[in-house]
Amino acid sequence: MEQTIKSSKNTENTNVFYTVAMRGLVAFPKMVMHFDIAREKTVAAIEKALKNNEKIFLVAQHESYVENPKANDLYKVGVVAEIKQVLKLPENIMKVLVEGVYRANLVRLTDDGDVLRAEVKRTPTYSRAKIDEVEAEALMRSIKDVFERYAQFVPRMPKELISSVMTQDDPVKLFEAVVFNCSLNYRDKQTLLEESNILNKLSVLFTCLSSEIEIMELESIINEQTRNNIDKGQKEYYLREQLRVIQEQLGEDDGEEVFNYINDIMALKIDEKSRDKLLKEADRLSKLPSASQEAFVIKNYLDTVLDLPWGKYTKAKISLEKAESILDNDHYGLKKVKERIIEFLAVHAINPKIKGQIICLAGPPGIGKTSIAKSIAKAMGRNYVRVSLGGVRDEADIRGHRKTYVGAMPGRIITALQQAESANPLILFDEIDKLCSDMKGDPSSAMLEVLDSEQNSAFRDHFLEVPFDLSKAVFITTANNVGDIPAPLLDRMELIELPSYTAEEKFHIAKEHLVPKQLKEHGLKGTQLKIQDDALHDIIAFYTKEAGVRTLERYIASLCRKGAKKIASGDAKRVTVKVKELHDWLGTRKYTSDIASNKNQVGVVNGLAWTSVGGVLMPLEVIALDGTGKTEVTGSLGDVMKESSKIAVSYVRSIADKYNIDKEFYKKNDLHIHAPEGAVPKDGPSAGVTMTTALVSALSGRKVRCDVAMTGEITLHGKVLPIGGLREKTMAAYKAGIKTVIIPAANKPDLEEVDNTVKNAIEFIFAENLMDVLENALTD
């Protein structure tokens, strides 16, 4: 029930009501209207009033943007209204239907934090002063005139309403019919509400309606002009004018946001079709309540699109000399790789518009692929971004999700461009061999489109919806294992393989690059922390086992951290890391070096394998036991090894006589072949020669030379076929103290890649067939 308060100062009655602060809306007595509410206090006011079966006080805010209005933010005159209907919409929005009952002055506003309540005093809607009939008639005619013009602009205005206005002869009814049905600025409406004298009301109404018509006329002229002549400038003008109108209608600030969006969209360097699409979104935004989920989605979308580097290019200029010095300064060694890159840059320098040249830097982790890509970006004067493709299995990772999905985002390509802040960056696609495909779509086909110079000038991201031009970007990819790159992608790329580093190279990289880099990162001067050369050698040999230098760099960083701590805590002014104290700095050694056994044995052969950490010496063991002809293979090589073992057994049967082997061995003996675990080799077949040699040794009882290592694939007829990774394998043999390495004759040209230190220390035997291998490996 309405609560009546007796004011202590005067005897007039006031009532207290739950109160709704209206944004951009003004109610009138007798007017039926509906509006949406979302603010908690407003929702609470409606709910409480409904519960207590009370009326509600509706009063407009001076400024629509004020979220939490105080008494000063509200007009002093409002309307007490009856709640007719309430509809709950999603997202905590309520639609409320009310009917104004009487006008009331706001006496006092109370806010308990949850809900607004107002003490109000009823005032008569129209003053009872006598009116001048002639003046009233004149005003009524004028209003009917402007209303008629107004109706022309509002095509959906009901005919009955127009005729009832035109024939109305009661000033109050005329006023109400016009005010309740025309959309006027809320400030004007408030003035109309506050005025009591009906003649004054009519006169203000006339002015408001006239200016409203002026705006509408202007709008229609602009519309007309736009239709006739849509050139860019005019469109901009049109939009700004339309926006001005929207702003006026909404109260300045709601429109300001949309206005800014439109301004930004107009400033984008973007094609007309895309611009239209974005403008359409801004237009939709202007029509939505700013707190709605949909408005949020559109704002997020526009923010993302506007943040992209449309038409922004860094000045790409290539000086080959500078490029060469950048590459040399940043990287030790890698002579061949640098040459290939300079060639690539030369092509770009001659023809900057060249398309579709994509380099793939391939090799094990930590050998500088990423850092070479960064240097290339520097040399080309382009911004650098890295996109990791490891584990990407969903096409949407590349191309994004439609913006209507909850939490939708653009894909990795568009995100990368956003980070790059230019439309012609160098994008590094890291680990392209780790792209997976499953039922969620094939990301590699999306990648194909990205890399294809024919298609990527209009790359489509699902989130973005408008095409983005990727054709000015330069792409570089990296892969650990070329064999895992999807073939259609591999087809498009020019492969540059980076070999793994020898210990000597690692030492130079550490000394010349990693140590200075880490010192700098830890804020240390070269004089403050020194790492002895021997200590570096020791770390390389006993703390790391890797093709690249990543773990090595981590250990150096760890030394710097510990050194910095010592210096900072005042324990020492400068520190030197000595080899004999390495144990204290880094803990116990992690690896022992692969040293070949120094005893010739039966059935044990030094194989050489190529693994993800570089080459390794891998002894292979075979024993022959009395049995029934079973072959057992254990260890890390699995299926490939089993196949090789079958070939080996057949071959050994064919040469059994020559080595005094019982021809029936494959029936009488069980063979157990074992390749130790450890790093998993990538090339099982190259253990063919090793296995056959071990088998012949085990069956004939002849020992195998412990200072010989070998690698090679075999055929059934005993031919030795070429293998990969010669450089890494021979390096491993050298480190293990091997004197002689047997390699396939077909690999002879590859010796050129082998490190000189290795070539000087090792004797190479080139095997055409297995006889060459056996003759050199078995003792007499």
* Binding test (CB under 6 A) with ligand ADP, winner from 368, 443, 619, 725: 368
AA identity, residue 343: E
The rounded distance, in Å, linking the Cα atoms of 182 and 188 is: 12
Interface region with ligand ADP, contact rule CB under 6 A, candidates 26-34, 229-237, 402-410, 548-556: 548-556
Question: What is the C-alpha separation between 202 and 142, in angstroms, rounded?
Answer: 9
Residue 331 in contact with ligand ADP, rule: CB under 6 A = yes
* By CB under 6 A, residue 499 contacts ligand ADP: no
DSSP string across 13-71: EEEEEEEEEESS----TT-EEEEEE-SHHHHHHHHHHHHTT--EEEEEBSSTT-SS--G
For the segment 346-365, give every residue that binds ligand ADP (CB under 6 A).
365
User: Interface residues for ligand ADP in 84-113 (CB under 6 A)?
Assistant: none
Q: Which of 41, 189, 369, 672 binds ligand ADP (CB under 6 A)?
A: 369
Exactly one of 28, 75, 301, 332 binds ligand ADP (CB under 6 A); that residue is: 332
550 scored as a contact of ligand ADP (CB under 6 A): yes
385 lies in the binding site for ligand ADP (CB under 6 A): no
Size of the site for ligand ADP (CB under 6 A): 18
Give residue number: closest CB to ligand ADP: 368
- In the structure encoding, which two tokens stand for residue 529, read together? 């922390």
Q: How far is the CB of 731 from ligand ADP (least distance, A)?
A: 16
For ligand ADP, the closer of residues 556 and 741 by Cβ is 556
Which candidate in 290, 686, 697, 700 is catalytic?
Answer: 686
Q: At what angle do helices 171-181 and 198-228 cross, to 10 degrees?
A: 30
Q: What is the largest CA-CA distance in the chain?
A: 138
Residue 548 contacts ligand ADP per CB under 6 A = yes
Would the CA dihedral through 497, 500, 505, 509 be positive or negative?
A: positive
What DSSP line would sit under 474-510, residue for residue?
A: EEEEEES-GGGS-HHHHHTEEEEEPPPPPHHHHHHHI
Q: For residues 669 and 663, what is the distance between their CA atoms, to the nearest angstrom? A: 11
Cβ-based nearer residue to ligand ADP, 511 or 589 = 511
Which letter does DSSP use for residue 514 in this model?
I
Nearest approach, Cβ of 667 to ligand ADP (angstroms)? 51
Least distance between ligand ADP and beta carbon 382 (Å): 18
Enumerate residues 6+ apart whose C-beta is below 8 A from 155: none
Beta strands 493-497 and 358-362 are parallel
CB of residue 329 to ligand ADP, shortest distance in Å: 9
- Among positions 422-461, residues that touch ligand ADP (CB under 6 A) are none
Q: Is the Cβ–Cβ distance between 604 and 704 less than 8 Å?
A: yes
Residue 386 or 759 having the CB closest to ligand ADP:
386
C-alpha angle 724-725-730 in degrees, rounded to nearest 5: 125
- Residue 509 is a binding residue for ligand ADP (CB under 6 A): yes
Using CB under 6 A as the binding rule, whether residue 370 contacts ligand ADP is answered as: yes
Give me the least distance between CB of 612 and ligand ADP, in Å please. Answer: 11
Q: Is residue 269 annotated as a catalytic residue, yes or no? A: no
> From the CA atom positions of the chain, what is the Rg in Å?
42
**Least distance to ligand ADP, CB of residue 333, Å:** 5
481 binds ligand ADP (CB under 6 A): no
Reply yes or no on whether 686 is catalytic: yes
Please report whether residue 334 would count as binding ligand ADP according to CB under 6 A. Answer: yes
Buried/exposed 209-241: b ≥16 CB within 10 Å, e otherwise: beebbebbeebeebeeebeeeeeeeebeebbbb
Q: Does 719 bind ligand ADP (CB under 6 A)?
A: no
Catalytic residue among 189, 472, 545, 729: 729
Judged by CB under 6 A, the stretch of 113-121, 325-333, 525-533, 741-749 that binds ligand ADP is: 325-333
Who contacts 736 (Cβ-Cβ below 8 Å, separation ≥6)? 593, 594, 595, 596, 606, 617, 709
- Asked if 412 and 397 touch (Cβ cutoff 8 Å), the reply is yes
Q: If binding is defined by CB under 6 A, does position 371 make contact with ligand ADP?
A: yes
Catalytic annotation, residues? 686, 729
Positions that interact with ligand ADP (CB under 6 A): 331-334, 365-371, 478, 509, 513, 548-550, 553
